[in-house]
A and B are shown apart, each in its own frame.
Chain A
Amino acid sequence: MGILQIAAVLILLLLLVKPLGSYMYHVFSNQPNRTDKLFTPFENVIYGIAGLKNRSGMSWKKYTLSLILTNIVLVVLGYIILRVQKLLPLNPNGIDNMEPTLSFNTIISFMTNTNLQHYSGESGLTYFSQMAVIMMMMFTSAATGIVVAIAFIRGITSKGNTLGNFFVDFVKAHTRLLLPLAVVVTLILVALQVPQTFGATVQATTLQGDVQSIARGPVASLVSIKHLGTNGGGFFGVNSSHPFENPNPLTNVIEILSMWCIPAALTYTFGKFARNQKQGWVIFGAMSMLFLMFLSLAYYAESQGNPAINALGIDAAQGSMEGKEVRFGIAQSALFTTVTTAATTGTVNNMHDTLTPLGGLVPLGQMMLNCVFGGDGVGLVNMLMYAILGVFLCGLMVGRTPEFLGRKIEAREMKLVAIAILAHPFIILVPTAIAFLTDLGRGSITNPGYHGISQVLYEFTSSAANNGSGFEGLADNTPFWNISTGLVMLFGRYISIIALLGVAGSMVKKQWIPETIGTFRTDNALYTAILVGTVFIIGALTFLPVLVLGPIAEHLTLR
């Protein structure tokens, strides 16, 4: 039954890939199409207000700079709002201003599409902050990721000097993609009993006669973009395990599909831009293979139950239900966990801290790879980076300078790719080591031993991969964690964006090499296998030693 539930969701996703992928292609290919009539007037108003007169293509440097500057402006704006939220409207619950290091962490967290939350939404944010900061950034950071992917795709599939116009892409990502989808998903969620209100906390008297405050607010709108934008920051502290964020299995499936559809469909968009749909399916195939491996592990590990509890003679037929919601069960929880860390959303419907060790390895592993679908846009770009790497490693074996999509991979691209692949282990392992060297870090571990290693490792991995889910249990709202994870999120997001847009900028200018029978093919099954192999050997083996000390040691000692 569990497998059936999972299979049904996978099939629904497959059905979404082609239509959504084509739609995104039409949005960003800038060719006139039917939807223009609907959106153009609205967009022209925005361009008018923003004073965007020059909508011509930008060089990669200009594109990247525009992206970064736009993000900086949003960060500054968001930071100010959080610091003075008490004085602003829509604060029926009288919530105070946010403390500086926490504000820094929160703002970076949302701008980088991470949504690591060192605060609890219901007590830390006003409704105004939830909407003007959190939701605003959920849209803008997702749009940022999507336009990065589009610019990168244009770079490797088109000829010329430009990657497109950042501002036009950025606006279109909102008007034609995220906003319409968010409206639809919000309405569905509301229909399925997710609250959407400006009303204050409700006071309820329990059967025992105690007074209980029940938090509510504009939940549905936030939950929709939280998933669509692969953001993951919940309205409530416990995120999508909260019955108001995710009341039933149906909303669970909708949330899974919402966070999964854009990263998955972008592979199709890529195929369309590359004018070779097989190229897109190769990327999708490699992602899916990795995903299925992780999903099987999670599902198997969780359904086996916790050996320590099983040893007590407690019936393990339901699997390891600690930290999971009964309304979702093992299958829906394992799938949610795998999807949320594959697509690096970070929303959770169960507590990852209480996953079995191998079950906990799954989210960790996927975030370490950061390319199993990945966050909106950036996941595809990361996988394409591995594709370039795979071409470089194996392409030489056909006796030619390696080529990807008809362009040679040369020293400049390799240098930029090297920066991107180096950054990820660096910003995970080095801060983890530092955390273990200081009491500031060690002191926060609530569950010493191997699990403690997982806790710390998870926190930084989640930050670096811009996932944002927590291996809760770490006492992480301290200046040490706020600042260190803030920096890791920042580097995790922008180093690879800059480096990979650089790759795109250099690829777009290259001379195309016509395809011959001697060309290394990147659109077949063999290459899919090579891609998976590259991701495993370069991406995964790097983290094996530390994983051995964390979840694997925990698993081996527990069984």
Chain B
Amino acid sequence: MNSANKKSLLTGELIKQAAIDSIKKLNPVIMMKNPVMFVVELGTLVVLLMVLLPEVFGAEERIGFNVTVFFILLFTVLFANFAEALAEGRGKAQADSLKKAKKDIVANKVVGNGIKVVSSAELRKGDIVIVAQGEMIPGDGEVIKGLASVDESAITGESAPVIKEAGGDFSSVTGGTRVVSDKITVKITSDPGESFMDRMISLVEGAKRQKTPNEIALNTLLISLTLIFLIVVVTLAPIANYLGIELEIPVLISLLVCLIPTTIGGLLSAIGIAGMDRVTQFNVLAMSGKAVEAAGDINTMILDKTGTITFGNRMASEFIPVSDQSLAAVAEWAAISSVKDETPEGRSVIELMKKQQLSYEASLAEGGEFIEFKAETRMSGIDLLDGRQVRKGAVDAVKTWVAAQGGVIPADLDDKANAVAREGGTPLAVAVDNVMYGIIYLKDTVKPGMKERFDQLRKMGIKTIMCTGDNPLTAATIAREAGVDDFIAESKPEDKIAVIRREQAEGKLVAMTGDGTNDAPALAQADVGLAMNSGTVAAKEAANMVDLDSDPSKIIEVVAIGKQLLMTRGALTTFSIANDVAKYFAIIPAMFTLAIPHMEALNIMGLGSPTSAILSALIFNAIIIPLLIPLAMKGVTYKPMSSSQLLSRNIIIYGLGGIIVPFIGIKLIDMAVNLWI
């Protein structure tokens, strides 16, 4: 993901387009949406007028200075526009590739008893279409008949096809994906222009981008700061005039532009777009920027056990002999029964053997007949060439099987099996003919790295709650192993919603993932609901984010991205405002030194001349915008840590840095400017 980011950031085409767009965005009607930069544009226009009509303003002698100021101001505006255009451009590039997938598709619509070939654009909600092997699915819908494998790489980028079938949680299909085998009947669930793909395109294009609540609040602050500085600068002229100091209009405009928060004003929308974009790059589709921000505020995270915290399939973790059998014997017969077993459980037995460095005679199984697991028998195994029958399976089933052959059931079997069950595992009994050898302990395995991630979440102040259908004992075991803070055992869908409501009543923001239709109410209730793309339409509709890769553990990364977005905004705001200190010390003495020579004492940076001081501050103010574009796009680095640590770190970098950097920057620029003045 990161390398892809960098690549797309550096595309020549993208930069060219952004450069063109940044000029288009000079249109005052568009600029008005960004009041801070609009003020800069107005200032630029005033200086332009003074350059074009110097005699009207009596500015003939200062034409060189005014031209320079004009260009710096113009570039300040252009840089800000460029940042925004670049962020938008990246979204557009992504949208274009999606649009390719959304070509006009031919659909076989069921009309009465026949089939009519129509264009996908003519399909409406409720229409029924039939899609056969090799055809594209014409629109979002639900499979109502049949089963097919569908290639969804157009939206997910995942090349392996997924199974879609009528009924259940795997019935939803997305327009623009391709059926690779079999035939399905699909009921269309969206009108043209409202499909998932359409929404996705408009989202990544940023066409429907609305300012988030937090952005609005920040904008209010930026506008009021702009107004304050406008008052400061406008009132300065008559006050200085009383002392007989005539302040030139371009100098006043320079002061104004330097003081108003142009850095954050210019980068604010780029930060927002780039934040959304990072989520999209991550193959998560956020329905709004608000959802991404809310992710940053999450206090509680509700996670399904299966698939999110654990792999969901049970793995062999221990061999337990019964009666007087040896561990080696149980292991050997377990392995032999599993040699030809391709189920995850079967493979995990072989893997456990390797891990425990146990060996078995593989030749024994050669030529044997594999007995598949059946719901009636609840056992699987192998019939060896020498006539011996090896079986593994549910304890009671194997017990019955052994007893039927006249075998004796060891007395400790039930106790050991129950012990495994109590710990949350599944016991499988292993037997050969009428001899019971022991038990395979099957365990639901926690995904690697989950414990560390939950630790990180805890450091961020996020509480994790695991939901599982398991009994409380099993749930407690897994919860302890994974390191989640809390769990709900034997949970029903209603329980999730109850937990969400309870947490929300305490003022907490809750995130959850889900895919089934019965998750939909909880997804809607949660502040951040991440639905799996493989899930049902109802779940996706109810959620405010959809994970195209259907990986529920991604919710953790989404939270990090949300936090990073807010942090980037805060860091650049602080930086921008802290910059003012140095700019004051550059411009104020420069403005008054000619009239009041003593003011030189305030020129603590030792800038060359009043003219160079003003120009340097202005140039610094302009070039800091493009210099910070990469930061705005990538976001400030975020590592999970407590708020106090984060704050100290960011205050030092962006607050203190924001005070110190411009002193150095302006001084350096001044030295360069003095070379040619």
Q: Which residues of A contact B (CB under 8 A)?
A: 389, 392-401, 406, 409-411, 413-415, 418-419, 421-422, 425-426, 429-430, 432-434, 436-437, 442, 449-450, 452-453, 511-514, 516-521, 524, 526, 530, 533, 537-538, 541-546, 548-549, 552-553, 556-557
Contacts and interface: CB of A to CB of B under 8 A. Distances in A.
Nearest to A519: B643
B555 to A, nearest CB: 16
Interface stretch (B293-301, B511-519, B534-542, B618-626): B293-301
Contacts of A437: 238
Nearest to A403: B297
Contacts of B459: 517
B57 interface: no
A125 to B, nearest CB: 34
7 contacts: A400-B566, A422-B224, A422-B228, A436-B239, A518-B643, A543-B232, A545-B584
Nearest to A557: B598
B235 interface: yes
A433 B581 CA distance: 24
Contacts of B644: 521, 524, 526
Contacts of B650: 394, 397-398
Nearest to A415: B220
Contacts of A401: 213-214, 293, 296-297, 566
B217 A414 contact: yes
Given A406-B507, A542-B228, A552-B602, A400 B297 contact: yes
Given A393-B573, A418-B224, A524-B644, A511 B507 contact: yes
B564 A516 contact: no
Nearest 10 pairs between A and B by C-beta? Answer: A396-B570, A518-B461, A399-B563, A516-B461, A418-B224, A433-B235, A556-B598, A397-B570, A429-B235, A397-B650
A75 to B, nearest CB: 28
A119 to B, nearest CB: 27
B236 A545 contact: yes
Interface string B542-583: 000000000000000000001110110111011001101100
Contact of A548 (B460, B599, B655): B599
A545 B574 contact: no
B221 interface: yes
A399 B592 contact: no
A518 B461 CA distance: 4
Contacts of B234: 433
Chain B residues touching A, range: 35 or more
Given A544-B584, A545-B588, A396 B596 contact: no
A397 B571 contact: yes
Contacts, number: 205
B654 A429 contact: no
Interface in B223-253: 223-225, 227-229, 231-243, 245
Nearest to A400: B297
B508 A513 contact: yes
A286 to B, nearest CB: 15
A542 B232 contact: yes
B interface secondary structure, majority: helix
Given A514-B506, A541-B584, A548-B592, A396 B566 contact: yes
A157 to B, nearest CB: 15
B643 A442 contact: no
Q: Which of B220, B241, B567, B591 has the most CB of A within 10 A?
A: B220
A418 B651 CA distance: 23
B216 interface: yes
Contacts of A399: 296, 460, 562-564, 566-567, 638, 646
Contacts of B224: 418-419, 421-422
Interface in B44-102: none
B2 interface: no
B217 A452 contact: no
Nearest to A552: B602
B5 interface: no
Contacts of A434: 238
A526 B566 CA distance: 20
Nearest to A416: B220
B462 interface: yes
A398 B592 contact: no
Contact of A546 (B236, B506, B567, B573): B236
Given A392-B217, A401-B293, 4 more contacts: A389-B221, A426-B231, A436-B239, A517-B642
Interface centre among B224, B231, B239, B599, by most chain A C-beta atoms within 10 angstroms, is B239
B238 A394 contact: no
- Chain A CB within 10 Å, residue with most, of B508, B592, B647, B648: B647
Contacts of B218: 392, 396, 414
A549 B592 CA distance: 8
Contacts of B213: 401, 410-411
B110 to A, nearest CB: 50
A530 B650 CA distance: 12
B601 interface: yes
A178 to B, nearest CB: 35
A512 B463 CA distance: 17
B573 A396 contact: yes
A436 B242 contact: yes
Contacts of A426: 228, 231
